[in-house]
A = this chain, B = another copy of it.
């Protein structure tokens, strides 16, 4: 389920506040879903709650972590270190969620060799050349790749990543990537998100005009 990460985050915050027991109502409210939906989602993992009481926050958190595969560390390679690539590399939310950025790759000779601090603990990483992509990926044994390149380069980078054994790709470039079926591709498109908002904005405006 795609909502597990949300529950995971909410539970993290809750346990940090020292709360030990949480009901489905509370957890659902904090996650922005209905309590019935939440209970069904959690029952998918097993019966980790106790009736009349609620869920043990820490225990439930651990179970979700296990289900999400967050008990291990996933090495991640980022290709394309422009503004977005920088933002991703610096994003603090990765380190404590089972991800470690282990490779920064760009095609721009100007950028190669530049150092970037990744994560919040100040680890330093050098930007490496696109030519060495295969070598880098094999060295760090990355299964997850992030594409933050311009649209024109995305498909080529994708093919090369897949050739090196990468099986999960997060794509920020505004193109539809084609790969074999066994590769998981997720797309995040900034313009698309705004367009969806504009769509609703416009429908709102239309409805208004009818009323007025």
Query: Chain A residues in contact with chain B, CB under 8 A?
Result: 2, 4-6, 8-10, 30-32, 67-70, 72, 74, 76, 82-84, 86-88, 90-91, 93-94, 97-99, 143-144, 146, 167-170, 174, 176, 178, 184, 186, 188-205
Interface pairs A-B: 8 shortest CB-CB? A69-B202, A83-B87, A168-B197, A5-B192, A84-B87, A5-B195, A93-B191, A32-B176
Q: Say whether B191 contacts A94, CB under 8 Å.
A: yes
Determine the distance from Cα of A191 to Cα of B99 in the docked complex, in whole angstroms.
Answer: 9
- Return the contact of A6 from the options B6, B84, B192 (Cβ within 8 A): B192
Determine the distance from Cα of A200 to Cα of B97 in the docked complex, in whole angstroms.
Answer: 15
In the bound complex, residues from chain B placing their C-beta under 8 Å from that of A69 are: 198-199, 201-203, 205
Q: Return the chain B residue nearest A32 by Cβ.
A: B176
